[in-house]
Amino acid sequence: MRFRHAAALALVGWYLMLPPPNPDNKNTILLGADLSLWAVYESYDNAKECRRERETLKARIPFTDTDEVLKRGSISDKMRWFGQCVATDDPRLKQK
């Protein structure tokens, strides 16, 4: 591996991203929205740290499965439950 390539890989970070709320229905989220519209919750140096924080956020939600979160959870519960870890260089983050 060339040094330049290794250096470029080392610069990739990770975002924990949360889906946007649905403006037409305040208690739903837009899971199908372009990733560029999702909110960056926090940034991390590596995927492992990001996944750990994602699991920590989910553990704070008082529900144990997706159906329950969708039916009874608050908007913030839903956003945290469906958060995703995304590499900072992911092309889906670019505005269309």
In a domain, 31, yes or no: yes
Q: Is the pLDDT of residue 8 over 60?
A: no
In a domain, 41, yes or no: yes
Give how many domains the chain has, as a whole number.
Answer: 1
In a domain, 62, yes or no: yes
What confidence score (pLDDT) does residue 3 get? 46
In a domain, 81, yes or no: yes
In a domain, 70, yes or no: yes
In a domain, 2, yes or no: no
Q: Is the pLDDT of residue 4 over 60?
A: no
Q: Is the pLDDT of residue 95 over 80?
A: no
Q: Which helix (H) or strand (E) holds 6?
A: helix 3-10
In a domain, 78, yes or no: yes
Backbone φ and ψ of 86, nearest 5°: -135, 135
Query: What residue numbers bound the domain in which 18 lies?
Result: 13-93
58: left (phi over 0), alpha (psi -120 to 50) or beta: alpha
